[in-house]
Amino acid sequence: MSRLFFFIQEAFRALRRNAAPSMAAIVTTVVTVILLGVLIPIFQTTQAKSNQVRDQLEIRYPIYDDATKSEIASTQRELEAIPHVASVELITKAEALEELKQDLEDQTILEQLNSNPLPVNFKVKADDAGNLDSVRAAVMPPGPDGKPQAISPIISGIFDRQEESQQIEQVTSALKIVLTVITALLIVASLMLVGNTIRLSIYTRRREVEVMRLVGATRWFIRWPFMIEGVVVGFAGGLVAILILWLGKITIVDPLSDSFSFLAAQNNSTLSFPVLVAILFGAAVLVSAVGSGVTLRRFLKV
């Protein structure tokens, strides 16, 4: 226990004596944690919004007005049995008109209608937006004349914004790839930045390490104060960064969440804010401690 206190005293003594490199390491840790603390929620929210848009992609199949209930039920079972179909919902004429009312800004057009012209239809959703083409081909396969023919005689056609669906699929897929690459690059760059700052801090004290080795100090006896120093740097940097992130959340993100749905979506992300800051804080302490121990290894070879 006395040796542990000695190591802690040596670590704080080194921090005071080497204030400039230690402060640089703390500032680097603060900047790194803040960058990750901002980017990770943005990445999660964008992913959630992208998946939400993809989930809204669907195909509508109108049916003839004279279709019987048994024919409708049979056709629905056929549609549900198609591979990659996630759900099949029957939309009545009244429900279709209500959907149209919600989509139209100018309601005067509907007021001029004497009757409901919209047909009963099936709303078909795929298990993934990328499988819409295969579902479309299965429901409307080529007939003997080579033209698409529905698998059921009660299906009168298709309401499909194919071009729009393909564009949304391409954009969301590209967005996922870009955000994943950016996040990975930032994490790697952050680790390298923290590691280089710690390496610079230890490099300024390489003579001290060499002298301790020459007088017979063991490698772990030398390494422990540096690792404790790394823990202190990571703790201080992580604490300051988390305080800044928390202030930004309560002063900027939370007040604007009511006005911007994108900001509100971060409240429903899989990684909550307390869990995120706990992970970032633990990572800051761990990276600083391990970085100090690993970087010191090259200076122990005397």
CATH 3.30.70.3040 residue ranges for the chain = 64-155
The CA distance from 64 to 68, in Å, is 9
Pick the CATH number of 64-155 from 3.90.226.10, 3.30.70.3040, 3.60.15.10, 3.20.20.70: 3.30.70.3040
Residue corresponding to tokens 């298709």: 158
Q: What pLDDT sits at residue 25? A: 76
pLDDT tens column, 259-298:
655 555 555 556 677 888 888 888 888 877 777 666 666 6
Q: What pLDDT sits at residue 191? A: 64
Report the run of H or E that residue 73 belongs to, with start and end.
helix 69-80
pLDDT tens column, 80-97:
898 988 888 888 888 888
Q: What pLDDT sits at residue 272? A: 75
Q: What pLDDT sits at residue 157? A: 82
Encoding tokens for residue 119?
């047909």
Q: Is residue 114 classed as helix, strand or coil in its secondary structure?
A: coil
* Rounded (10°) CA dihedral 230, 294, 2, 284: 30
Which residues of the chain are under the pLDDT cut of 70?
1-4, 6-7, 10-12, 14-15, 18, 48-56, 103-113, 160-172, 187, 189-199, 201-202, 204-205, 209-210, 216-217, 219-220, 222, 254, 256-271, 292-302
